[in-house]
Amino acid sequence: MSTPQTLTASRVSGLKGRVRAPGDKSMSHRALIFGGMAEGVTEIEGLLEGDDILATGRAMQAFGASVERIGEGRWRVEGAGTLRSPDAVIDCGNAGTGVRLLMGAAAGYDLSATFDGDASLRKRPMKRVTGPLAEMGARFDWNAAEDRVPLTLHGGGLKGLTFVQSVASAQIKSAILLAGLNADGETIVVEPEKSRDHTERMLRAFGAEVEVTEEGSGWRIRLPGGQTLKGTHVAVPGDPSSAAFPLAAALVAPGSEVTVEGVMLNPLRTGLFQTWIDMGADLTIANRRQAGGEEVGDVTARHSALKGIVVPEDRAASMIDEYPILAATAAFAEGRTVMRGIGEMRVKESDRIALMVAGLSACGVQVEEEPEGFIVTGGPVKGGATVATAHDHRIAMSHLVLGLAAEQPVSVRDPEMIATSFPGFVELMNGLGADIVAGGAA
Ligand SMILES: O=C(O)C1=C[C@@H](OP(=O)(O)O)[C@@H](O)[C@H](O)C1
Ligand SMILES: C=C(OP(=O)(O)O)C(=O)O
């Protein structure tokens, strides 16, 4: 099926059902990259088969690993042990995580590789990763513009590095740690706030030594150089960032009750769930269990009368991708929801602050924009607009959820990127009783 140029969501009530979220995107990238670097075989289950992840799989193949699909969500990776120069440009598509982690992984080997991506990725900052990798000894040629892909990396001969991050970014941390595996001497990363720790956890599962200690409100991570990963089995749990969309729809559509099963509950990913609870959401978690080295559970959301709150800024790293959908639910809350300390949102797949402000305003929601945040004042949501998404998956899904409870339908332009993180989104939502159709107002 070719992707339509617009999708339209109309008001519904009584969303009901139990669904599974797609596999976690952060863990899926890492499983393929670590498996491809390792010696031996890695079997992955629950892999997200979204476009971002498929691009990372092709990249690892180009670096010399064998990456094979053996069933739905089941992949077998035969590690390259030592990555080699790829024959062609590594196209990371839309994925910031993909390109930044792949650069870190590749930097440790004696190879040259050119990285590129789509129009969105070509606008995103890369020096945050190439800077520390260059300090370790990698070299970079900017092929078009400084700080942007396309760029060419020349790796190998790295020395360990002590790097104090100015932003809490798991992508920067992960790139440095992956390079550190093949560096001479130890690598230390210090972060100002804790960011998602999937790399640290998964490196241990692949047999690496990683030491993590608290430092201030963040972490100090120490990794000795000269380590070889050993293939392992990875079970990828459901992505809380994707689970957020059907749960949000249940919170705002009257008479709804939706359960998403098998959602990863790593506390560095569940800031949104805590925020919704603080706003008065009827959100419950049952059947907590361990899966794939992470706690998972079944999360149920019921239609709720939400109240606006000031979201604590130190929660930002644990929900940075979730502010668009938080803002969509805040539009139905009583009072103001204040979201600050989130300047990083401006350098994601789009400027997500600007696009949420524009989209919500077009739908009649009162929004105030700040340089590093925005404030949504809830109330009846008019809808009746066609919203620009700049091909950003989370902007598209957030406005579709808005349309499920707005007075008039909401249409989103260019929704094709939903497939980067949530293939089957429309079908899953409509299976719960949503009304999302191709086409509609333009
Ligand atoms: O490490 C990861 O898997 C990710 C880290 C976050 O980015 P930053 O590290 O830039 O904050 C997040 O926005 C992204 O979707 C996934
Ligand atoms: C920011 C995101 O991803 P990435 O940085 O990998 O493009 C996201 O999925 O919201």
Is residue 1 domain-resident?
Answer: no
What pLDDT, on a 0 to 100 scale, did the predictor assign at position 378? 98
Report residue 183 as tokens.
Answer: 């560096």
Kindly list the catalytic residues.
321
Structural domain count, the chain: 2
223 and 247 housed in the same domain: no
**What's the CA gap between 150 and 65, in Å, rounded?**
23
280 and 332 housed in the same domain: yes
Tokens 């696009």 label which residue? 355
Is residue 402 domain-resident?
Answer: yes
Q: Which domain holds residue 252?
A: 6-23+237-438
What pLDDT, on a 0 to 100 scale, did the predictor assign at position 52? 97
pTM passes above 0.90: yes
Asked if 85 and 113 count as a contact pair (C-beta separation under 8 A), the reply is yes
The CATH number of the domain holding residue 259 is 3.65.10.10
Ligand nearest to the CA of 97: 2
Print burial letters for 147-175: b (CB count within 10 Å at least 16), e (below 16).
ebbbbbbbbeebebbebebebbbbbbbbb
What pLDDT, on a 0 to 100 scale, did the predictor assign at position 293? 85
| Segment-wise mean pLDDT, segments of 10 residues, the chain, 442 residues | 84 98 97 98 98 98 98 98 98 98 98 98 98 98 98 98 96 98 98 96 98 95 98 98 99 98 98 98 97 93 98 97 99 98 97 98 98 98 98 98 98 96 98 96 62
What pLDDT, on a 0 to 100 scale, did the predictor assign at position 442? 54
Using the mean position of ligand 2's atoms as its centre, give its distance from the Cα of residue 59 in Å. Answer: 17
What pLDDT, on a 0 to 100 scale, did the predictor assign at position 1? 46
Q: Is the CB of 67 under 6 A from ligand 2?
A: no
What pLDDT, on a 0 to 100 scale, did the predictor assign at position 237? 97
What pLDDT, on a 0 to 100 scale, did the predictor assign at position 4? 79
189 and 257 housed in the same domain: no
Ligand 1 pocket mutation pick from 26, 128, 203 by most atoms within 8 angstroms of CB: 26
What pLDDT, on a 0 to 100 scale, did the predictor assign at position 2? 62
What pLDDT, on a 0 to 100 scale, did the predictor assign at position 325? 99
12 and 29 housed in the same domain: no
269 and 138 housed in the same domain: no
Ligand 1: residues with CB < 6 A are: 26, 97, 169-171, 174, 196, 320-321, 344
332 and 214 housed in the same domain: no
Pairing of strands 408-413, 6-10: antiparallel
